[in-house]
């Protein structure tokens, strides 16, 4: 561990990169080992999973922690008390007990002034993430508008965003605007946690941002797509006489997330305006020059309409919508646009064209090989290449992998940088096994 405070770490990042988002979500954090090649939770990921997918009803340890903090708040509030408190907090997970702890602390009848002083000591002097989170939790109970800038600074560290959002929401006279400011400083779980607080906002700037960029995050857009569509007023926005390119791109991203087959959030079946929005999106795309940003949503939507989920409330609209999207994707200029993207393996968006190419039946094997010659460690590219390898090409695929991929590592090495290559090897192995089984089952291919 470095021994530096989270506060000084955040100040350094802000000086180097501005308010955020920061590179690698603010990692490495001060309490992390200097060398760690193992697979770990990303910043805020564990708290995000706890808050979204696991019940938090544990009282274990919360009462004792509340007593400890109450005792500290009644004592001498100087920076020197922080190391001693941190020694008692090393094994605490605040996300598991935050609701209970808040209630217990409010029962301890300590003045807001002293709780706020203790909170600022922990936030500004903490060298462990859990102690800083406790400080942020205490600020949510005792802070005020004076703490806004501190909360925005610390919340830009994605490990702390959940707690900074809660504190901003409870302490600021303009909670939607405060959380909005923080939401734009983060991209991972922090973005998810912040945007969820904006679900009832009527602020025109926030609504516009939700539709264009606010739903996008580095976890899964599916978490925020429905919130963005409903709160942002997607139907009304697309009904305008003029729809700008950023709004159309955002609408495509939202619809792509809503129709995702295994998304973690509520999908398009919960979106009451789905049918008119799908018709309007098709109309707007039809009037634009084809580009990959609109082709990919068309592919996603058509894939969904080909296999609509059971219980879809507007199931009777599916056939007509399906024909409309199939007609759009069937235009020659769509195929030409996808092939143009695949013609240059150096394009930054080369990989984005592989899914549409597969749906359009293009089999771009040579183009993928050209890409892999330049960027060999790409699981996504290898997995698509394997789709276009026939039984007679099994030896060719094995030789290509041996030539381009780094040696496969044992499965228990846990080296993060090797993961993509190992996944690529797995795709190759699985495809070779399928080809071998096919040859054995069909003597004509032997």
The residues spanned by each domain of the chain are 211-330, 335-445
Span of 2-11, 200-209, 210-219 with lowest mean pLDDT: 2-11
- Mean pLDDT throughout 28-43? 65
141, 115 in Cβ contact below 8 A? yes
Question: What confidence tens digit (pLDDT) does each residue in 94-152 have?
Answer: 888 888 888 898 888 889 999 999 999 999 999 999 999 999 999 999 999 999 999 99
- The two three-digit tokens of residue 319, written as one number: 């056939």
Burial of 46 (0-12, 13-18, 19+ CB in 10 A): middle
Q: Of the spans 41-50, 324-333, 405-414, which averages the highest pLDDT?
A: 324-333
Place of tokens 């190419």: 357
Whether 58 has a pLDDT exceeding 70, the answer reads: no
Q: SS3 letters for 1-56?
A: CCCCCHHHHHHHHHHHHCCCCCHHHHCCCCCCCCCCCCCCCCCCHHHHHHHHHCCC
């Amino acid at each position: 561990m470095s021994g530096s405070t989270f506060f000084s770490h955040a100040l350094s990042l802000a000086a180097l990169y501005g308010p955020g988002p920061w590179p690698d979500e603010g990692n490495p954090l001060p309490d992390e080992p200097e060398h760690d090649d193992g697979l770990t939770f990303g910043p805020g990921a564990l708290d995000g999973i706890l808050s979204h997918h696991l019940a938090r009803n544990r009282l274990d340890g919360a009462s004792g922690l509340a007593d400890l903090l109450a005792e500290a708040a009644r004592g001498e509030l100087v920076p020197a008390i922080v190391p001693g408190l941190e020694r008692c907090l090393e094994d605490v997970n605040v996300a598991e007990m935050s609701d209970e702890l808040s209630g217990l602390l409010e029962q301890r009848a300590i003045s807001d002034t002293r709780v706020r002083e203790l909170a600022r000591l922990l936030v500004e002097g903490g060298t462990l993430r859990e102690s800083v989170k406790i400080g942020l939790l205490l600020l949510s109970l005792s802070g005020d508008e004076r703490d806004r800038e501190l909360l925005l600074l610390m919340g830009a560290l994605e490990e702390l965003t959940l707690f900074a959002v809660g504190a901003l929401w409870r302490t600021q006279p303009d909670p939607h605007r405060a959380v909005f400011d923080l939401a734009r400083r983060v991209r991972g779980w922090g973005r998810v946690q912040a945007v969820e607080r904006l679900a009832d906002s009527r602020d025109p700037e926030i609504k516009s941002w939700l539709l264009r960029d606010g739903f996008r995050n580095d976890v899964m857009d599916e978490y925020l797509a429905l919130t963005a569509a409903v709160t942002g007023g997607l139907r009304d926005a697309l009904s305008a006489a003029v729809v700008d390119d950023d709004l159309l791109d955002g609408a495509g991203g939202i619809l792509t997330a809503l129709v995702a087959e295994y998304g973690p959030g509520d999908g398009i079946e919960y979106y009451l305006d789905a049918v008119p929005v799908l018709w309007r999106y098709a109309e707007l795309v039809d009037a634009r020059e084809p580009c990959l940003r609109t082709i990919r949503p068309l592919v996603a939507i058509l894939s969904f309409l080909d296999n609509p989920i059971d219980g879809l409330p507007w199931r009777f609209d599916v056939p007509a919508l399906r024909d409309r999207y199939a007609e759009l994707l069937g235009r020659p200029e769509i195929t030409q646009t996808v092939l143009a993207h695949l013609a240059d393996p150096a394009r930054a968006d080369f990989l984005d064209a592989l899914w549409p190419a597969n749906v359009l039946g293009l089999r771009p094997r040579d183009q993928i090989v050209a890409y892999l010659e330049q960027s060999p460690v790409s699981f996504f590219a290898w997995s698509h290449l394997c789709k276009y390898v026939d039984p007679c090409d099994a030896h060719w695929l094995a030789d290509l992998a041996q030539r381009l991929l780094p040696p496969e590592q044992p499965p228990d090495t846990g080296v993060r940088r090797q993961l993509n290559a190992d996944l690529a090897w797995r795709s190759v192995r699985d495809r070779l096994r399928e080809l071998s089984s096919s040859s054995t089952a069909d003597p004509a291919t032997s």
